[in-house]
Amino acid sequence: MLLHISGVHGVEAYAGSATQLALLAAPPPLNAGTALVLVHVLNPWGMAWLRRCNEANVDLNRNFLDDNATWSGCPPLYRCIETLLNPPSPPARDGFVLRLGLRGLRHGVAALRQAIAHGQYRYPQGLFYGGDQLQPGPRLLMAWLRDHLAATNTLFVIDMHTGLGPQGASTLITEAHVGCGPASASLSQRLGLPVLGDPAAPEAYAVRGSLGAALPRLLPNLGLDFVLQEIGTATPLRVLHALREENRWHHHGGGGIDHPSKQALLAALCPADAEWRRAAVRQGCELAHRAAAALQSP
């Protein structure tokens, strides 16, 4: 089975949705023993309301914890900058970029990035909140996989996102301890594309509660490959600032969809530029076709 997932982060869903429409129009060649399954927008509320998280302010890619996990805690450095990241006020100019830059000089950019994006379970109105329980979208997906993969022996999962990496370019990242599919060659060799081991990408980071890390626990008896595909959009600082201002508007402003902070977040994660959009769909389809070929190779 080739499983293509879009919209784990709601406002990032547009490129994945467009890619899935293109795959329906021109699917990769599949033999009689192979299925293509499209999970269209795991977080539809976030897509509709231009939010990265769901209706409970949960980042779904920090929500796939195992059954015995403790839904609490956050990185120590996140606690130190929590009021900077999540001020209890509507969007306003407050020197965020300069103040965050000073924090980067003090703690190091890589350490700051890791602390912010790792996932936190302490501040329910904060950025990158992983929740206090498994959310409906992840619960439905995991139940569906358990119920429908009885006849599947090999699974290739593509989880499509936008934001990370050079603008318009595709960055492929796999999870540590994932990759027990047909392993006569490495995943990069089988796809014919560079695949980075998480968190090897220059702008990547390790996260807690990710979908990719949950799959081996959920499906221990399958040959499994997983790739998170990021289509780069803007600088990490611009994306973070857009996330912060939209989060302020949602919790401490009116929350309406026509606010500039909503449009700024959409522009940061789904640029209006036609060439970027064509490139996103082209690269999304290319990866799906290459994964289908790798999945069916001897």
Q: How many domains does the chain have?
A: 1
Contacts of 196 (CB under 8 A, 6+ apart): 171, 172, 173, 174, 204
Residue 183: per-residue pLDDT: 39
Instruction: Give the model confidence (pLDDT) of 67-94 as tens digits.
Output: 888 999 999 999 999 999 999 999 999 9
Instruction: Give the model confidence (pLDDT) of 90-138 as tens digits.
Output: 999 999 999 999 999 999 999 999 999 999 999 999 999 999 999 999 9
- 293 alpha carbon, distance to own chain's centre: 24
pLDDT band at 151 (very low <50, low <70, confident <90, very high): confident
User: Which CATH number fits the domain that encloses residue 235?
Assistant: 3.40.630
Contacts of 34 (CB under 8 A, 6+ apart): 1, 2, 292, 295, 296
Residue 57: per-residue pLDDT: 98
pLDDT band at 198 (very low <50, low <70, confident <90, very high): very low
Distance CA 42, CA 63 (A): 12
Give me the domain span that covers residue 138.
Answer: 2-66+134-295
What residue type is 147 in one-letter code?
D
Structural domain contains residue 104: no
Residue 177: per-residue pLDDT: 65
pLDDT band at 185 (very low <50, low <70, confident <90, very high): low
Instruction: Give the model confidence (pLDDT) of 15-47 as tens digits.
Output: 999 999 999 999 999 999 999 999 999 999 999
Structural domain contains residue 125: no
Q: What's the whole-number mean pLDDT along residues 171-185? A: 66
Q: What is the pTM of this model?
A: 0.94
Contact assessment for residue 8 and residue 60, using Cβ atoms and an 8 Å cutoff: yes
Cα torsion angle, 128, 170, 204, 192, sign:
positive
The larger pLDDT score, comparing residue 9 to residue 182, is at 9
